[in-house]
Amino acid sequence: MAWQRKAAERYRSLIWNEAWNSFEFKAQSLKFSANRHTEAEGPGFDISRHSGGSISHICYTEKLRSRVGCDPHPYELFEATHTKKGTFELIDARAPSISILFLERSKHFITERFETRARNIQKISGPFNFTSFGSSSNGRNFYIKTRISHRVARGRGRSGRGHHKAKVFNVKKFGACANGRQDDGKAFLAAWTAACSARGRVKLVIPRGTYLLGPVKFRGPCISLMIIVKLKGYLKATTDLSAYEKAGGDDWVEFGFVNNLRLLGGGTFDGQGAASWRFNKCPQKKKCQVLPTSLKFVGLTNTRVRGIKSVNSKFFHISLVECQNFWASNIRITAPGNSPNTDGIHLDRSTGISIHNSIITTGDDCISVGPGSSKIILKNIRCGPGHGISVGSLGRYEGEKDVKDLLVKDCVLTGTTNGVRIKTWENSPQYSSATNMTFDNIVMNQVYNPIIIDQTYCPYSSCDKQSPSKVKVSDINFKNIRGTSASPVAVSLKCSQGVPCKNIKLHNVQLNYHGPTPTTSSCSFVQGLMTSGVQFPYPCTA
SS3 221: coil
Q: Are 460 and 286 in contact (CB under 8 A)?
A: yes
pLDDT of residue 541: 79
pLDDT of residue 10: 28
State the Cα–Cα distance between residues 414 and 412, nearest whole angstrom. Answer: 7
State the Cα–Cα distance between residues 214 and 336, nearest whole angstrom. Answer: 23
Q: Are 40 and 153 in contact (CB under 8 A)?
A: no
pLDDT of residue 542: 67
pLDDT of residue 110: 28
pLDDT of residue 2: 39
State the Cα–Cα distance between residues 134 and 21, nearest whole angstrom. Answer: 8
Sign of CA dihedral 462, 464, 468, 471: negative
pLDDT of residue 92: 26
pLDDT of residue 249: 74
Catalytic residue among 356, 387, 507, 514: 387
Per-residue pLDDT of the chain (542 residues; tens, 9 = 90+): 333 233 232 222 232 222 223 333 322 222 222 233 222 222 333 333 333 333 333 333 333 333 333 333 322 223 333 322 222 333 222 222 323 323 222 333 223 332 223 333 333 233 322 222 222 223 222 222 222 222 223 333 333 334 468 899 999 999 999 999 999 999 999 999 999 999 999 999 999 999 999 999 999 999 999 999 999 999 999 999 999 988 887 899 999 999 999 999 999 999 999 999 999 999 888 888 899 999 999 999 999 999 999 999 999 999 999 999 999 999 999 999 999 999 999 999 999 999 999 999 999 999 999 999 999 999 999 999 999 999 999 999 999 999 999 999 999 999 999 999 999 999 999 999 999 999 999 999 999 999 999 999 999 888 888 899 999 999 999 999 999 999 999 999 999 999 999 999 999 999 999 888 999 999 999 998 999 999 999 998 76
CA distances from 51 to 55, 56, 76, 114, 325 (A): 9, 10, 21, 17, 19
Question: Annotated catalytic, 346?
Answer: no
SS3 531: strand
Give the global pTM.
0.73
Residue-level length of the chain? 542
pLDDT of residue 480: 98
pLDDT of residue 461: 80
pLDDT of residue 430: 96
State the Cα–Cα distance between residues 32 and 26, nearest whole angstrom. Answer: 7
State the Cα–Cα distance between residues 491 and 417, nearest whole angstrom. Answer: 13
